[in-house]
Structure 1
Amino acid sequence: MYYPLRYIEWSETKQMEVGEVYQIHSLSQEELFVHKLVDAVKLNHRIWVHVSHESIDHEKHTIYLRPFAEELPATYQRSLATTISGQKDYPNGLAPEYWLWNGTQFQRRDAIDSYVSPIHLALRLLDHYLVQQDITYDILYTVLDADRQKVMIFLNEVNE
């Protein structure tokens, strides 16, 4: 089954819709999960933060957005914006991309996996931590870069 998805800008100050940002006419259920589970989305080279999402009769889906702003700790804010905006590659389908905090900025981490199905990617987005080779990472933030079809997963190594 396939579903339409609308991205709508939301004004916190006015408590109302500002207008439609983007529309996707047909997404699989698994892809829809990924769209709804990330913290933010990059559409047409602009970063938007998810405010909330809803469905009407389980068929029509809407994600409410606001422009990317100061909702993250200052430590990560500038590096996140620079990293998200600076990527230019274009893969064929949804793929995860991992970014590790090095104390001053995010650096691309070697691929953990080359392909993850949309449902497995959605399952990964449900976790707060990622453990790889006995190293635990805190998942700080997730962004669907719709322009590149990448899910950017920002990590910080947890000191144990």
Structure 2
Amino acid sequence: MHYPLRYIEWSEDKQRELGRIHEYPSMHSDELFVHKLVDAIKLNHRIWVHISHESENTGQHIVYARPFAEELPYPYQKSLARTITGQKDYPSSLQPEYWVWNGDSFERISGYDYSMAALDIARRLLDHYWVENGVTYDMLYTVLDADRQKVMFFLSEVRHG
């Protein structure tokens, strides 16, 4: 099934809509899940934080968002913004991308850039932790970079012991 999706800017101060950010006239339901499950989206080189989302009985889906600010506690926030805005590749289909905190900044994890169906990416977005090759990662933040068709997973390695 396909559904229309609109992104609307929301003002917490004014408790009202400020206007349309972007609209997708028709989106496959699997990709719609990804759009609703991420913490933020990058559209037209601007980052928007998801506040809430809803669906109407007409089949219309809406995501309410506000401009990105300092979303994660220090020391993550500046590195998060730099990493999101600094990527320039443009793949043709939705793909996951993994970034792990190295103590100073987010560093891309290589070797996990495999193709996944949108529904599989949505399933991963439901998890708080991800285990790969015996390493447990905490999901700190997720961003759909619509400009590049990448779902960016920002992770922190969980130290056992």
- Identify the TM-score tier after normalising by the shorter chain: over 0.9
The 5 Å alignment of 1:1-160 reads 1-57=1-57, 59-160=59-160
Structure 2: distance between partners of 1:122 and 1:28: 13
Q: Contact 2:39–2:141 at 8 Å: present in 1 too?
A: yes
Task: Give the drift of 1:55.
Answer: 0.2
Moved over 2 A (4+): none
Name the aligned partner's letter for residue 44 of structure 1: N
Task: Give the drift of 1:113.
Answer: 4.5
Structure 1: distance between partners of 2:137 and 2:58: 34
Where 1:90 maps in the other structure, the secondary structure is: coil
Uncovered stretches (5+) of structure 1, i.e. residues with no partner:
none
Where 1:20 maps in the other structure, the secondary structure is: strand
Structure 2: distance between partners of 1:69 and 1:114: 30
Name the aligned partner's letter for residue 107 of structure 1: E
TM-score normalised by length of structure 2: 0.97
Q: Contact 2:97–2:152 at 8 Å: present in 1 too?
A: yes
Aligned CA distance change for structure 1 residues 74 and 152 (closer, same or farther; 3 Å): same
Task: Give the drift of 1:70.
Answer: 2.3
Task: Give the drift of 1:58.
Answer: 6.3
Task: Give the drift of 1:75.
Answer: 1.2
Task: Give the drift of 1:111.
Answer: 3.3
